[in-house]
Amino acid sequence: MAVIAKNCPKIEIEVVDINADRISAWNDKDLDNLPVFEPGLSEILKDVRNKNLIFSSNVENSIKNSDMVFISVNTPIKKKGIGAGQTSDLRWVESCARQICKSARGHTIVVEKSTLPVKTAQTIKDILDSSKVNNSNENRTFSVLSNPEFLAEGTAVSDLVNPDRVLIGGDDLEAMNALKEIYINWVPENKIIFTNLWSSELSKLSANALLAQRISSINSLSAICEVTGAEIDDVANAVGMDSRIGSKFLKAGPGFGGSCFKKDILNLVYLSRFYGLNEVADFWQETILINSWQQTRIYKEIVAKLFGNLADKKIAILGFAFKENTNDTRESPAINICRDLLNEGAFLNIHDCKVSEETINRDLCIENGFKRNMWTYNEDVYSVFEGAHAVILMTEWSIYKRLKWERILSVVKKPFWVFDTRLIVNPNEIKSLGINLWQLGNGKNH
């Protein structure tokens, strides 16, 4: 919404949330305190906030006065009941639709921005249509569009400013053109594409599934590299130069995290099984299985290298976010690997450039039941190494690429191990200092 506000000064945008605390965080005078860290976002907000972009908790009023309403709520995987662990929990989408149905006036275009299971637009339509029955005196009408978001965290602003495409799905050409009129202010017309609602919803799930599948593919090859003497970055480079394959999304690592890939594939698997397409479901399911296997095998490798015993050993963890340039830890591989190490009795010294102690506490203690005295939170990257037996590089933050290993060597326990799951350290430098190195996908580990 910030990017729309910036590019369309004549459009008035209100971002509303029933959570007043969240809204006041977005209104914080100090732009360093925004609830989400995203490079470039605070600079845009500085220009547009309280001009044509307002953050408010007056949901009803805002909907009443709007021509277009974007639904951008969370759609996590269902925890209980039918489809638990497999399909999205749509309670917030449904309650948004009900709120819009109650508060809207005149004709309102309702845009699905959240990533949703295919056919959710029908649910929204059904709820909105009920307004005709309930309020027969008021002439309220709705058009429902799907306009999925393809931005990635950490590069959200540039992805929005320069998108590969903008997808608008719908069955009401007038409404679709009204939404197009917004994007045309900064997106070239040939990048704005129209489809029907179901193609649009399915395209979003498909894009994420294909991206995640590429990561599982390269990660499965990383394991083959380790046993054969090949090197995964070289293999990725060689295959990526084939223009049919392309070089992006071929970086091996500890597996994909983030709020979307796993959830979207699970939705695809659920949809396939619902329609009896079991082979299709199994095919996509394997992408998730390889992803968690990758984390398990990294953990087993660490235990094996540290003599099969982690009890009372100190392990430094560099990075807790699911990728660099974000403070988001949802589905972060670091959570699973830290959980397994803690279960082995290790003590963890954790550092991240943007993730707060509070978030790590939520992930490890509140959600996984570990005690607060089993790990430390370190503001200074070098302090994690004090008395450590090993370090695990979990996130590819740039400062981890420039660590002074000689300085580190003087404070760690020997023999000291570096486990590089992101392939960011220089193996020659590490080895020349006599430090043991295990690098993901590196066939020279042995």
Active site residues: 149, 204, 260
Return d(Cα 321, Cα 23) in angstroms, integer: 24
Which positions from 261 through 300 interact with ligand UGA, judged by CB under 6 A? 261
| CA dist., res. 352 & res. 327, Å (int) | 9
Q: Which stretch binds ligand UGA (CB under 6 A): 81-89, 119-127, 252-260, 408-416?
A: 252-260
Shortest distance, CB of residue 76 to ligand UGA, whole angstroms?
Answer: 12
Considering the rule CB under 6 A, would residue 251 count as an interface residue with ligand UGA?
Answer: yes
Interface with ligand UGA (CB under 6 A), residue from 211, 239, 277, 374: 211
Q: Is 339 exposed, middle or buried (0-12, 13-18, 19+ CB in 10 A)?
A: middle
Q: Choose the stretch contacting ligand UGA; rule: CB under 6 A; options: 75-83, 191-199, 247-255, 426-434.
A: 247-255
Quote the least distance from Cβ 420 to ligand UGA, whole Å: 14
Choices 208-216, 268-276, 287-295, 350-358 (CB under 6 A): range interacting with ligand UGA: 208-216
Least distance in angstroms from the C-beta of 148 to ligand UGA: 8
Name the residue number minimizing CB distance to ligand UGA: 258
Rounded (10°) angle between helices 197-228 and 232-240: 130
Give CA separation, 227 vs 293, 304, 442, 443, in Å: 16, 15, 9, 6
**The one segment of 20-28, 45-53, 255-263, 342-350 that binds ligand UGA by CB under 6 A:** 255-263
Q: Which stretch binds ligand UGA (CB under 6 A): 73-81, 125-133, 147-155, 402-410?
A: 147-155
Applying CB under 6 A, what is the total number of residues that bind ligand UGA? 20
Distances (CA, A) of 434 to 182, 414, 424, 426: 59, 10, 18, 13
Instruction: Work out which of 25, 151, 374, 409 binds ligand UGA, going by CB under 6 A.
Output: 151
Q: How far apart are CA 273 and CA 332, in angstroms?
A: 27
- Report the distance separating Cα 220 and Cα 38, nearest Å: 31
Q: Give the residue among 251, 212, 211 at the shortest CA–CA distance from 234.
A: 251
Q: Which is nearer to ligand UGA, 153 or 231 (CB)?
A: 153
Which one, 78 or 323, has the nearer CB to ligand UGA?
A: 323
Smallest distance, ligand UGA to C-beta of residue 36, A: 12
Interstrand relation of 192-195 and 107-112 (parallel, antiparallel or unpaired): unpaired
Task: Please say which residue, 128 or 340, places its beta carbon nearer to ligand UGA.
Answer: 340
The single residue among 38, 149, 231, 420 that binds ligand UGA, judged by CB under 6 A, is: 149
Contact flag: residue 257 with ligand UGA (CB under 6 A): yes
Q: How far is the CB of 185 from ligand UGA (least distance, A)?
A: 21
Q: How far is the CB of 165 from ligand UGA (least distance, A)?
A: 11
- Are 292 and 331 within 8 A, CB to CB? no
In 10 A of CB 9, how many CB atoms? 12
Per CB under 6 A, does 323 bind ligand UGA? yes
350 binds ligand UGA (CB under 6 A): no
Residue 249: both structure tokens together: 């999304």
CB of 212 to ligand UGA, least distance (A): 7
> Which pairs with CB-CB distance under 8 Å and at least 24 residues apart come from 89-93?
90/116, 90/117, 90/120, 90/123, 93/120, 93/123, 93/124
215 lies in the binding site for ligand UGA (CB under 6 A): yes
Among 169, 170, 258, 319, binds ligand UGA (CB under 6 A): 258
Q: Is 232 in the site for ligand UGA (CB under 6 A)?
A: no
**Per CB under 6 A, does 112 bind ligand UGA?**
no
Binding test (CB under 6 A) with ligand UGA, winner from 16, 250, 281, 390: 250
Alpha-carbon distance 441 to 218, whole Å? Answer: 9
Stretch that binds ligand UGA, among 13-21, 70-78, 116-124, 251-259 (CB under 6 A): 251-259
Q: How far is the CB of 330 from ligand UGA (least distance, A)?
A: 9
Residue 261 Cβ, how far from ligand UGA at the closest point, in Å? 6
**Cα angle for residues 22, 27, 28 (degrees, 5° grid):** 95
- 15 vs 54, beta carbon nearer ligand UGA: 15
Q: Which residues make up the interface to ligand UGA (CB under 6 A)?
A: 115, 149-153, 208, 211, 215, 249-251, 253, 256-258, 260-261, 322-323
